[in-house]
């Protein structure tokens, strides 16, 4: 029923960046710790010296056919942004676009029931919401959380010498396209659903425990799109080993068969000449590196001396957690994709 599924429905990041850069700058407000300047997963607003609000909004078109699971994924995708900042989500407002004619409203009930289940599971209070008549179904939440202003995880927190850890495998965009055209097996679809429904709360706890300062949520702009934002915000270069990146079983084969998303093409244009690929990196693998993710994993910049301990802790809840690269001093390219191992 939709032209693009999940986070692949986002506006092209390049076009969005041009719009945002053309807006007049607001007068500096000392209470704003993080706005939209570094493309962080959420904004952070100081309340007191040891308390800040974390605010985000995320909604998208259906990523799976089952309405209940769509609602669950949409809820997790929204609150994951707060966890990505090292924060704790507390409240949510639902955002619903649904056609007033032609689609059974029981479908909307199931979508909202799935979202509410996830919110309740993670002690996030639903306070209300807003709905609009629209031919394409869309659903998500505006979420408010809290964080200690001295313990924020941000795009600008990566330091040279850090290791890069990724908590979930990539490939949800390509698999969702395959599901749409009935080209994904039941096993591939089921494993992808499991990836999307794995919450980021344990990663947030681990980042707080180990004092992590740099990280981001891998969603609609793909692994390389979000890596670029983080590398630029931190004024460093990310060296990524493609052979170390976890990939959803079956996603590489689907990419090889030409199943791609429009969002992946937009992400490739956005990154443009900011990445240098080793000649060994295939076009198929590049498609996955640009693939828009929905409810994806966290990319975490970890001091080298803490890397092994953090990886062990993360694997308790995210078994695919892998070291996929390192942070270097800023070089000619913000992103280097090299076959290292």
Residues with a catalytic annotation lie at: 7
Strand arrangement of the beta sheet that strand 32-34 belongs to: 32-34, 43-48, 51-60, 138-147, 88-98, 125-133
Determine contact, residues 136/61, Cβ cutoff 8 Å: yes
Please give the Cα distance from 74 to 76 (Å, whole number): 6
The two tokens of residue 46 are 């100081």
Bridge partner residues of 215 (DSSP): 300
Q: Which residues of 189-223 are buried (b: 16+ CB within 10 A; e: fewer)?
A: bebbbebbebbbbbbbebbbebebbbbbbbbbbbb
Please give the Cα distance from 132 to 192 (Å, whole number): 30
- Phi and psi torsions of 293, nearest 5°: -100, 150
- For 214-245, the three-class secondary structure string (H helix, E strand, C coil) is EEEECCCCHHHHHHHHHHHHHCEEEEECHHHC
- CA-nearest of 9, 33, 16 to 229 is 16
Determine contact, residues 180/300, Cβ cutoff 8 Å: no
């Amino acid at each position: 029923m939709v032209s693009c599924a999940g986070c692949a429905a986002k506006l092209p990041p390049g076009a969005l960046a041009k719009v945002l850069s053309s807006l007049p700058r607001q007068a500096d407000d000392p209470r704003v710790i993080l706005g939209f300047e570094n493309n962080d997963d959420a904004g952070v607003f100081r309340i007191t010296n040891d308390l800040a609000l974390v605010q985000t909004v995320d909604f998208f078109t259906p990523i799976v056919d089952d309405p209940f699971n769509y609602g669950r994924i949409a809820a997790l995708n929204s609150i994951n942004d707060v966890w990505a900042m090292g924060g704790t989500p507390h409240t949510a407002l639902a955002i619903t676009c649904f056609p007033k004619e032609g689609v059974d409203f029981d479908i909307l009930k199931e979508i909202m029931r799935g979202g509410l289940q996830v919110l309740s599971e993670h002690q996030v209070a639903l306070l209300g919401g807003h709905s609009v008549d629209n031919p394409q179904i869309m659903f998500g939440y505006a979420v408010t959380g809290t964080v200690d202003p001295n313990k924020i995880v941000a795009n600008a927190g990566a330091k040279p010498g850090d290791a890069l850890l990724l908590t979930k495998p990539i490939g949800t965009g390509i698999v969702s396209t395959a599901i749409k055209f009935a080209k994904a097996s039941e096993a591939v679809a089921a494993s992808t659903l499991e990836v999307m429904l794995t919450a980021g709360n344990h990663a947030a706890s681990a980042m707080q425990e180990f004092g992590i300062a740099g990280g981001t949520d891998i969603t609609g702009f793909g692994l390389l799109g979000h890596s670029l934002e983080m590398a630029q915000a931190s004024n460093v270069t990310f060296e990524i080993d493609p052979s170390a990146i976890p990939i959803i079983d079956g996603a590489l084969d689907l990419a090889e068969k030409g199943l791609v998303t429009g969002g992946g093409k937009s992400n490739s244009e956005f990154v443009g000449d900011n990445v240098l690929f080793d000649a060994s990196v295939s076009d198929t693998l590049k498609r996955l590196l640009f693939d828009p993710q929905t409810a994806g994993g966290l990319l975490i910049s970890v001091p080298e001396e803490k890397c092994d301990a953090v990886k062990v802790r993360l694997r308790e809840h995210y078994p695919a957690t892998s070291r996929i690269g390192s942070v270097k001093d800023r070089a000619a390219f913000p992103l280097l994709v090299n076959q290292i191992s």
